[in-house]
Amino acid sequence: MSEVVRVLFDGKVLLPEKPLKLIPHQTYTIIIESDKTISDDEQGWDCIEKLIGTVEAPQDWALEHDHYLYRLPK
């Protein structure tokens, strides 16, 4: 049996968000992954800035995006 459970670490123990159906005095193996969150100093604009220049497109892409996306005349 495997189950994904979110927990909070209070500095000493892991506190599950919901009750667990576990057998007392049974040994279990857990895998710990931290939640991926955006840090306070990383804003949405910072993420977008990292993407600048990663897409190859024609020089007039911004000006003529309707032409390239919807095949409208230039």
The domains of the chain are located at: 7-70
CB 17 within 8 Å of CB 7 = yes
Phi and psi at 62, nearest 5°, equal -65, -40
Rounded to two decimals, what is the model's pTM? Answer: 0.42
SS3 46: helix
Give 1-33 pLDDT, tens digit per residue.
Answer: 788 899 999 999 999 999 999 999 999 999 988
CB 6 within 8 Å of CB 17 = yes
For residue 38, give both structure tokens: 């955006």
